[in-house]
Structure 1
Amino acid sequence: SEQPNNPTPPPIIPTQAPAESRDVVEGTIDPNGVYTYAFTAEAGDVYTITAQATSSYFDPRIAVYLSDTFIADNDDYGTTTGDLQTTDARIYDLLITEGGRYEVDVRGYRDSAGDFTLTVERVATDAPTGLPTERVELGSVTGGETYSLDFDAEAGDWVTISVRGLTRDFDSYVALVNADGTVLLDNDDNGSAFLGALGFYDSQITNYHITTSGTYTIEVTDVGGAGGSFGVTISTLR
C-alpha cells in the first residue's frame, strides 16, 4: 500500500532569550534582617539592580555575591534620576564576567526595617568581559569651576568613569555629556563601601554603553564648592 504523504516537519529552531528581562519583587525587612534574591547569569550579561523604599524612613542597601564572594554593593545611588529617592540603592550596569548563581542581599542602613521594591533587570547580553583599556588624567577645580575632559568612543564600547579626590574633603560630581550637550548619566557619591581605591564620596559612572561613535565630554565639579585636585580614570571595554 502507498505510504501517506506526510511532509517533513520544519526544523526546530531554539529561541534565544531576549537581551532585556525584568523581575520585580516586593519585600519587607525586619530590624537587623536581610532579604535575599537569587538569579542565574551568564558571562557577558549586564544587570541593573535597584532597591526602592516603599515605607517612610527606610534606607535600603544592596550587595551582590557569587558563591559568597563579594561582587558589588550600593547604599545611596547618588545620581540625579527622577525615579529614585536620594536614599534608594542601585547597582547600575553590573557586567557579569563569570557565569553562575548570584545572590542579591537587601538590608536596611544601620539595620533599619521597612518595605521595598527590588528590581533585577538584565539590560544587555554578550558584553565584552576582557581587560579594559585605561586612560588616567589629573585635574583640579576652584570653587564653582567645572573641569572638562574630552575622549573618543566607539559604538559598542562600555565605559566606566571614576573620579577620585586627591584633596582632603573633595566631594566630586561627574557627568558624561554627549556632543549635543546632553547629560547622559551623572553621579555624585558612588555609594559603595568596598571599591578599594575609591572613597564613599568619590564618584563613578559604571559601564555606560556607548551606542553612537563620537567625542564625549566628562565634566567634574566639587559639590562642596571649595575645590581641589582629583584623578579621572576612563576604563573602556571593547
Structure 2
Amino acid sequence: MLKLDPFVDEHGVVRVGGRLKHSDLTLGEKHPILIPGSHHFAKLIVLHYHKQIRHQGRHLTEGSIRSAGFWIIGLKRLVNTVISECVLCRRFRGNLMTQKMSDLPEERLKSCPPFTYVGVDCLGPWDIVTRRTRGGSVNSKRWAVLFSCMSSRAVHIEVIEEMSTSSFINALRRFVSLRGKVKEFFSDRGTNFVGAANELGIPAICVEDKTLKTFLNEKGTVWKFNTPIFVTYGRLVGTTHRHCSPHY
C-alpha cells in the first residue's frame, strides 16, 4: 500500500494518491478508492462489473473496475479467480467437442509401391495469356488434375487444356508412364467425373465414356466413387464407398 501513496479524504475513505491532483479527471479516476483484495466486498465489485460488461474477459473487467473509481489490491489474481468460477464464462470458453474418427481404409494401410491406390480431383480453371493463331485464339483457360497417393500421400499434378475425356486420358497416360500402373482410382461424384454434366452442357470429364472405360480396362484399373453427398476428406478417415468400375 505504501507504493500507492494512500491518503484519507474528508469522508474517511482511503484513496490512492498520485500526481494527478490538478487534472480535469473525475475524483474516482484521479484517486480511486483503495480496497483490499482479500475482502468480500472486493469480490462483489468484480462480480458486478464482470456481469455489467457481459462476461468479456479479464482485461475489460479490470478496465471497467478502474474506470468506476476502485483500486483493488491484487486485482488481476482476483479477476482470474472470479472468471474461472463463472459458469457462463466456462460455458462460453469451453473446449469444442471433437468427433471420433473412424478406422483408416485398407488402401491407406497396405504395403505397396507409390501411386498404386490414387485419389483424383480436378482444379481450376485459371486464366492464361491468350495467344493469337491463324485460326483464331487458342483456349485461354487451363485446368489441373491432382493425383494423390493413398499410402505415401505423395502428390502428382498434370495440366490439361480443357475439361474433356480426351484431355483427361492424355493426362492419365502421362501419369501412368511416369508413376507406373495404378490398381485403383478414387474420386468424388462431382460433375467433373459423372455423365450428368454433359446433359447440363458443363465441360466435364465423364468416367462412363466408352473411350475412358476402354483405357482403364487395358490398364487393369478400377475406378471407385465416394458415397454421394460426401466430402473428399472422407476417403482419408475411412468409410464405405460405392463401387463404380468399368467392369460392371
TM range (shorter): under 0.3
User: TM-score w.r.t. structure 2 length?
Assistant: 0.20
Structure (1/2) with the larger helix percentage? 2
Answer 1 or 2: which has greater strand percent.
1
TM-score (norm 1): 0.21
Q: Indicate the structure whose relative CO is greater, using CA pairs within 8 Å and at least 6 residues apart.
A: 1
Structure with larger Rg? 2
